[in-house]
Amino acid sequence: MKAKPILYEGINFRSKLEARWYIFMKKLGWNIIYEPEIEGINGWIPDFLIIGKKKILVDVKPIDKYEEWEDHPDRPKIENSGVVNLNYEILILGTNLELNGDGKMGILYPIDFFYPEGRSDDLVTGELGELIEKPIMNYALAFPVFNKNNKKYGFLDQNGSWNKGCRITGADRIALRDEDKLYINTCWNEAWSKLQWKGKEVV
């Protein structure tokens, strides 16, 4: 299904899904920027920048589960955009809050899995026909899960980097209670309802 642009709070979102994530993240109190201009990134415009304890570049895709990202045509474009050389993590979000199942909200590229040298011995042809070193893409995908600290919601890397802390608050791991999970789901559902009432499709 083709994405439908929508106007919400003065922002022309490229799709309803983007707008829903925007409303949801705002409800959780996150500091976000839509379509940020990031120097050093080529061929990819992130949908959002989350500014918390870490800086997270977000791309929203109409995928229902993790497996759909494995061979997604936009994956090489994002991974080879030059972000490997910058101080950002990447978060891929889909159509739901259970993209990976078991409460895992999306797909995370943690910054500590990037090779610092960012180069290999292989040569590839550059844009001007010159031979250049091929960037090393040693991304190890992780699965972020929601977290709460001092009434502030965020997310952590479920794959073992708990000591890196919450990406929003920097807090250590704190398990969500049932009422926290209910609140998160309510925010997600309310984001859709609010969009239906106040969003305006762009023709």
Span of 18-27, 104-113, 117-126 with lowest mean pLDDT:
117-126
Residue 190 forms part of a structural domain: yes
Question: What total number of domains does the chain contain?
Answer: 1
Q: Which domain holds residue 193?
A: 10-198
The chain-wide mean pLDDT, for the chain, equals 83
Residue 54 lies inside a defined structural domain of this protein: yes
What local confidence, expressed as pLDDT, does residue 121 receive? Answer: 46
User: In the prediction, which pLDDT does 195 show?
Assistant: 86
When pLDDT is averaged across residues 118-126 and rounded to a whole number, the result is 48
Q: Per the domain annotation, does 135 fall within a domain?
A: yes
Q: In angstroms, rounded to a whole number, what is the distance separating the alpha carbons of residues 40 and 140?
A: 22
Type of residue found at 131: L
Tell me whether residue 2 is in a domain.
no
- Does 93 have pLDDT greater than 60? yes
3 assigned to some structural domain: no
pLDDT of residue 31: 97
Highest mean pLDDT among 65-79, 125-139, 142-156, 158-172: 65-79
Tell me: the pLDDT tens digits for 3-46? 788 999 899 999 999 999 999 999 999 999 999 999 999 999 99
- 148-197 pLDDT, tens digit per residue, is 888 899 998 876 444 468 899 888 767 788 999 999 999 999 999 988 88
* Segment 109-113 mean pLDDT: 73
Taking the model in full, what pTM does it have?
A: 0.83
- Which pLDDT belongs to residue 85? 80
- Per the document, the length of the chain is 203
Q: What is the pLDDT of residue 74?
A: 95
Is the pLDDT confidence value at 131 over 60? no
Instruction: Answer whether residue 96 is part of any domain.
Output: yes
